Structures are given as C-alpha cells and as structure tokens.
A and B are shown apart, each in its own frame.
Chain A
C-alpha cells in the first residue's frame, strides 16, 4: 500500500499556537484568587533539623500559609521507592532539599517570608562519592531505608545501596580463560540536567470536600493521579489532572516534584496555589541525569572475538530514589554494558546508591548514554591494544538475529551491520583525514520501542465531515498530536487539516499512556489507527446503503466512498458523515490499545564523529557528525529529523561541556550562565543517514526515534578524540582543560 499522508513532512498542529504565544503552560494558568507558593531549601548537605521558627514569616503581609515538616503527615512519596518526604522531616539530605514552604498573595511576600524563617541545623557527616558511600562504616543517607514502602531488599546489604541488579550469561571465568587478552577500564560520567525550557511548575486547587484539581508540567497525568491518591491518601475520583502543554520533558517531567507540597499549601491557605521553580531550583533540586562509575573488564581473542565481559555499573542516585519508576528503582541503561555485541559470557552488576547530593531522575534513555560512553570507549581501547581497526572489531562482534540481550529479551531482524556500514560509508571511515590532530570515532547502540499499560483514543466524525481525535496524552514538545492526526488522515483519506486533536484530561479515560521510552507514537498511534479503521468500516456501511451495494464492495479513496467496480457514483466523506449521523446519531469510536510485550525488533544507531584538537589549548572542535539510523516507516520526516537533531545536540553537550558541578554536594552551577548547553554556533554539520526497513512494531511498521540520537554521541566524540591525539579521556565531559593537561602529561611521560 502506498502511503500518502504518513511519510510526508507535516507541520505541527500546535506550531502556530506555540509560536504565537497562545499555548497554555502551567505557569500561564490563572484561577480566581490564585496565590503563590515557594519553598525554603536546605543550605546543608546532611544535617539534623534542630529547630524551625516560622513566627516572623507568618506575620509578613500577604502570607497565607507557612508549612514545615512538622505540619505535614509523615508520608514519604516516590514513584516506586517511597523515600522522599514532602518537606524535610528530622533531617535534610542534600543542599536544596525543601525545609519549609510558604503560600502568599504574591511572590515578593512569599520570598520575604522565606527569608524570615529561622532554621537551626546540626551538621552530620555526609557522603558524596558513590564508591565511598558503599564502603563499610560509611555515613548513611537513609538509616530507615528497610522500612520504606516500595523497598525491595537487595541480595546483599551494602551501605547506601537501595538497588542491586544482576544480569549474567554463560560462564564468566571460563570465558576469561578462553581469552588471549583481558583488559579493564573504568569510566566516569557527570551529573547533567535536561535543560528543558520550562522549569517544573504546578497549580493545585482544593475545594471544601477535598476534591483537587491539578495543572502541572507533568507528562504522566494518569500516573500522577494514581500517585497522588496513594500518597496523599485521597480517593482517586477526588483528583482531576488537567493536561497542559509541557515545555520539554526529556524524561525529567514524570515525577511529583512540587505537586504534593503545592496541595498542602492550597489546603492550608484554602486558595489555589501556583508554584514555578526557578532555574536555580531546577539545577539544584530538579531530577537530573545520574552520574555514574562504570568498570568494564573484557576478555578477547587475538582475532578480536569478544569472549567475556564483567561490568560493574554504579549509578549515583543522590539523596533519594523517589524519581525513578520501576519495581527496582534503578536505570535500565546498565543492560547495555554488553553494547551491540555478542558476548557469550558476561556478568553485569548495577547498583543504585544514595549520596548527599541532588536526587537524580530520568533523562532521555535513562542510564544508557553513560554506559554506552563507557562500552564504546572500552571497545576502542580493545581495538587499539589488538592493533585492529575499531570498525572491524565492531563488525566482528555484532549481535545477530535471535541473540538474547541481558534480561533475556531476544533481538530479531538485527540491522546493526547495515546501520554501522552506512555510517562508515557516509563518514569516509577508511579515507585519509584532512590533517594532523583530526580523528574519527564510532558510537553504536540501539533502543527498543517502549510500552506499558494502555493507550486510548476516540475518533468522532461531525456531520460536516470534520474529524476529532480525543486523546489524554500531553504534548511534551515532540509533535505527538500531529502524528496521531497523520495516522487518522491516512486511514480516512481526508486532508490532515480536516482532523483536529482534542486534549482531554484524567476524566476523559480511565487511564492513558504517558510519553516515555518512545512509546506514544506506537501505543496511541495504534489506538488511533484501530479507531480510524473501525470508523472507516462503519461509514462504509452507510455509504453502501446509499449506493445500494454491499459494504464489502465499497472503498474509500481520496476522501470519497465509491464502489469497488468503478467510480460511477462516489460519495464525499462529508456526505456520508452527514447521512451516518442522521441515521445513527453520534459517529464515535473508542479504542484501547493494550501493550502486551516489547517487540524483539530494535532500532540501531551508529554515529561517527570527526574532531580536531588544538594541541596548544586542548580545544576540541567537532568537525562533523554522521548519524545513521535503522528506521521503519517514518511517519513524519520533520518531527523524526527533529528528534534526531535534538538528540545529537544534547549528546554533543553531554560529551563536551555540560556538567552540574557540585562542591561538597552543593550544586555550584546554579544558573544557565554557569551550566552551559550548546548554542547554535557550537553545532557541527550533521549528516543523517536513514537505513530504511519498514518492519518496525509501530503503526505502519514504524520504529522509534526518541532516544536514538543521544545515546551514542558522547562515545563517538570520545573515540574521535582518542583517534586524533592518542589520548584517552575516561571521564565526561571532554573539556579543553582535561584534554590540555592529558596531552601535557602524555608529552612529559614520553
């Protein structure tokens, strides 16, 4: 079947509204008598709260509520492990933790009140380095961890470790025995922030019978509703979450953040409360990407065959694990410790560790950019030791159809070789470089289409033939609703402009999917596809009775219903819609797509970076990046390319400049002047190669793209750097200063 609308570059439905400033974000929500909420945050990394005096704060004109830990129920909240108090109770565990909250008529009064709250702290010994935190006798961030709801006792009790995961295959020791060469390297990655445009924001209104309404920069409204019901002990039907546009998510907008305290302030003040985090609060107390320590040990044969791998992945979770969902609240990225390689004997161990620093959360492919940086750097180091071309070493060891990944999931229709070879061809891998100090490096990885729970869609057709898709999936900036529009337009063969998306709320459906893991195009897309198909069949019946033939003889083409034998008589879509509405009333179809299991079809990505180093300063110029993607049917080439480019840019920032710097646990890069992300002038030419294979598990055989741009970029750049100057930097970011001093010490060593 030739696709007409799916596959054609389609502009965003919401584009003009966003550009025109009409789109409502949480901070734009205005309610009668709304007031502001603000939090006082801890200046200590780890301290006992001895005394809090709020008397002066309460007297500030315009202040309507002041709450401290003592005023709140002893609840701890969290997506899986419920370890974070709504406001600190008893002690603080990181600089930036909420100690008190104020609601006031205006922001000035709230800030004035915060400055008048007196808190006495008693400093406690703190831990910042995750490896030191795991040592016997280390000071504990959470003494009462075993008593927390959602805690699953790991196989081994190690100080400050709340999660341990193991994945093994084959026989590791015999694997190492088989090896001609065993190499071990350790890599470190930094704390990094999602740097979305919109900081976390929440509006909560509570009525006299404790019914609450929430507007929030939250990508998961239904999970939010469920969590609030559970964690605030409210009946579920008392909570309504409105869906507002989310100004960038990148994984970070799934937690509760300020919503519970906003609820308590609204309840105490008996007024709707708005809370908008400043960017300083985002950087010091958001939910950034975990720093990691990744140790890899590999056994390899002389011919380059990888025969054994031992991996230890330590994710520094910061002071809490509350922002991570999943039964074991750790990051899935650790399963990538074997990379895209077929290694028959491996043992991966991953730890989630508490330290007295900002609690971390999800960020675009949780844990994967960290581990892929380590694995792909390690791969190049092995190639160097063997004297092999890094491309050849990779090609020798790639996954094959039917191989099992850590966790037991299989992979099918593996397109890794094609993707990598296409990248190498585009990059001119074997061609000579333009000069000295120029290097090329490869990064390869993959993602599966995500999914969980169920997705809903309702399609209705008005008597004038205009179609509405009802969904309760928020747009986080990815163009989700435009894709749904395209899918419906493809099935109904009408112009996309005749289809609009209506965004419901948590009353619209029982539940709905939330963006994450590239699941929406697949799940909501499938629900829309099925609803549109059923609508088409229903309208065919009406058309058949009008045309006096069987429904099975009717086809729908270019927005016209006609008999299969010829277009003698054809009925316009709107005409059938009008007739059908007259006969049957509402033309409305609801579909639920239930996610059952992940498809074994993955989408691979291979990136090749070319860099040049200024030896006098260590300055690294990324000359170009080739990004090669294993794709299925591309539903919207515009948004697809947008995901790739956005991902690569974030990957470039992660590789070369971004770092939330902490000193004794305190975030010192507390504004976007100090925490830098790439700007347009920093971007190298990007060449995209799409290796097409319409065999994905999504609608119209689509594969996912959301995370593929970011996962291997740091690895490719680090390897290019190694190739350019022969010096390996094993901790991100690859700053000019690190390169400068590494070059200096390599010179003095030589």
Chain B
C-alpha cells in the first residue's frame, strides 16, 4: 500500500472542502472493509483518504413519515440488530445479517457498501425490491436516487465525484406485503452468493391475487438486476404454483451472469430461476404466519 494523507472532517461542508482540495486523488472511506483491501492489492491508489466516521449526523436509523431513514455511516451490524428495523422491515435486518461475518458487519457501512457497488453484495437486491432510495449530497445540494437506478456497472454508480451518500430511505410497505431474501452459497457459508434473490410480494385484500411484486437478483450481472418481466407475469394473477414457475422462467431471461468460481454462467442462470421461485414461496409463507416475529431461523442460506 502506498502512503496517503488521512483527513477526518467533522461535517459535510468540511468533506466538500477536502474533496475540492484533493480532487480525483482522494477517496472517501467509511468502514474501509472493501477499500483497504483494494489499496493493499494496489487496485486503487488514492493519495488521500477522507474519513466519514467523524462526520456528524451520518449514522443512525429513524422512522420519518413511515419511511426508514438509515444514515450512510450506519454499520451493517446496526441495521441487522436494530429493533426498529426488525419490527418494521424484518427482511432488511435479515438481509444485512447475511453479509460476510460479524467482524465485517461491525465495520462496513450502508452507504459505503452501496458506493462500493460490487454486484455480489447482499443488500442491493433487497433494497431494490423494497423500493429504497439513496440520498446523495454535494456542495450543490442533495438528490434522491432509487437504488434500482444507482448502479451502472461493476464498481460503478451514478454518484458524482463530489457526492456523498448521506442516507438510505426505505419506504413503508403497503398492507398485505411480505418479503424474502435468499442467498445461494453452494461452496461455503462464508462466501459471496452464487445467486441471491429478493422478492417483495403484495397481495390484494382476498390474499389470493398478486397486486404487486418486486423481484431483484444479485451476483448475476454487472449490477444487481430487477426482474421486471418476472414481476409482470405475476401482477394481477392468482397466487398459484404455475404462476411462480412462469415468473422464475422470466427471471432466468433477465439475468446476465458471468462464469466464475461460484458457478458457470449457465448454472447461475438456472439457479436464478430456482431462487426467484423459492424467494417468492418464502415471501408467501409470510402470510401464513400471523404477526410473525422477525425470523430467527438458523442461517440456512436459502439452501432449501
């Protein structure tokens, strides 16, 4: 790793000043779990790290107008263990629990994870399925970006060099909604997903018809992928096994995986179908459990 300056601004204004001073040679750092490894491997060689950890007001979870607002510097572990998140959106807490190990989750931040934009990460599919948005702020003000539109390529996002993720906002789910996130780990529990799938299902009042469905997948393309055609197959349809199978088929067409050590492209495509169907099934199981507590099942990693 080459030597670098280390700055600890106390507020966003100071962050902007540092960014202005060091320009493209600077990198923002929060938990550092991804960046430091890349620096050690000399994949990135910033001459300055601007730490966000002392910036006031960037961490914490709150509920505002029904939406969950998660500060950009909130750690994965905080989301996972937050009683508010567990109560309001157990799916989100569950998803963050799947990320790496406790050591990593204690350091890695919500904003940092999104800015890193590795398509193998767990939270993005769930955030997309939940309709979450990213709040990015710069000297010129702030803007909201739907997570679905946030990623552009491997490790690439729509963020501009002077933008900082200050918040992730997750809207309240409509009534009669339930969700699920499944992570397929055929090698070891301590791995990135071969395929991950998140599904959020909203049923009509009869609970027999899909009124809305949102499906997103991870590890099967250069960015997380929303399977819109699979969703369309279900919308307005009765809740039946054939419909789920048809949606799974559509999901297979939506993905564009590459072959790597976690599986060949052909295998990942097949598994995308299986895990979309299983995620839908698991989400639907949520309707059977009346007022269920947050899932405390063993970390089975969506194997069955």
Contacts and interface: CB of A to CB of B under 8 A. Distances in A.
A679 interface: yes
A681 B303 contact: no
Contact of A111 (B42, B186, B187): B42
A661 B264 CA distance: 13
A618 B190 contact: no
B19 to A, nearest CB: 25
Contact of A617 (B42, B191, B274, B299): B274
A111 B299 CA distance: 41
A44 to B, nearest CB: 21
B279 to A, nearest CB: 13
A615 B2 CA distance: 49
Contact of A741 (B3, B188, B267): B267
Contacts of B3: 108
A118 interface: no
A661 B262 CA distance: 12
Which of A657, A661, A736 has most B Cβ within 10 Å? Answer: A736
Interface string A707-750: 00000000000000000000000000001110011000000000
Interface in A573-631: 614, 616-619, 621
A612 B32 CA distance: 39
A621 B2 contact: no
B184 A679 contact: no
A678 interface: yes
A720 B255 CA distance: 34
Given A108-B3, A737-B264, A737-B267, A619 B186 contact: yes
B288 interface: no
Interface residues of A, number: 28
Chain B contact surface mostly: loop
Contacts of A676: 187-188, 190-191, 261
Contacts, number: 57
Given A108-B1, A619-B303, A740-B270, A682 B188 contact: yes
A735 B260 CA distance: 13
Contacts of A681: 188-190, 299
A108 B2 contact: yes
A620 B184 CA distance: 12
B186 A736 contact: yes
Interface string A675-693: 1111101100000000000
A213 interface: no
A349 B213 CA distance: 62
Nearest to B278: A616
B186 A679 contact: no
A676 B193 CA distance: 13
Contact of B188 (A111, A614, A668, A679): A679
B189 to A, nearest CB: 4
Given A108-B2, A616-B274, A677 B188 contact: yes
Contacts of A679: 188-190
A736 B190 CA distance: 16
A674 interface: yes
A735 B187 contact: yes
Interface in B190-210: 190-192, 194
Contacts of B260: 674
Contacts of A682: 188-190
Interface in B139-174: none
A682 B3 CA distance: 39
Chain A contact surface mostly: loop
A336 B266 CA distance: 38
A674 B189 CA distance: 13
Given A108-B2, A108-B3, A740-B270, A617 B261 contact: no
Interface string A649-677: 00000001101010000001100011111
Nearest to B270: A740
B44 to A, nearest CB: 15
A673 B40 CA distance: 15
Given A108-B3, A614-B304, A674 B186 contact: no
A621 B303 contact: yes
A675 B188 CA distance: 10
B263 interface: yes
A657 B299 contact: no
Contact of B261 (A619, A674, A677): A674
Interface in A486-517: none
B127 interface: no
B15 interface: no
Nearest to A653: B188
Nearest to A618: B186
A674 B274 CA distance: 24
A679 B3 CA distance: 34
B4 to A, nearest CB: 11
A657 B186 CA distance: 8
A404 to B, nearest CB: 42
Contact of A735 (B2, B186, B299): B186
Contacts of B280: none
Nearest to A675: B261
Given A108-B2, A674-B261, A737-B264, A617 B184 contact: yes
B271 interface: yes
A661 B3 CA distance: 33
B45 to A, nearest CB: 11
Nearest to A661: B261
A610 B299 CA distance: 21
Nearest to B271: A617
A111 B190 CA distance: 31
A656 B187 CA distance: 7
Interface in B260-302: 260-261, 263-264, 267, 270-271, 274, 299
Contacts of B304: 614
Nearest to A670: B41
Which of B186, B190, B271, B303 has most A Cβ within 10 Å? Answer: B186
B254 to A, nearest CB: 19
5 contacts: A619-B186, A657-B187, A661-B261, A676-B187, A736-B186
Given A617-B271, A657-B187, A737-B263, 9 more contacts: A111-B42, A675-B261, A676-B191, A677-B188, A679-B189, A681-B189, A735-B186, A737-B186, A737-B267
Which 5 residue pairs are nearest across A and B when measured between Cβ atoms?
Answer: A736-B186, A681-B189, A679-B190, A657-B187, A737-B267
Interface of B: 1-3, 42, 184, 186-192, 194, 260-261, 263-264, 267, 270-271, 274, 299, 303-304
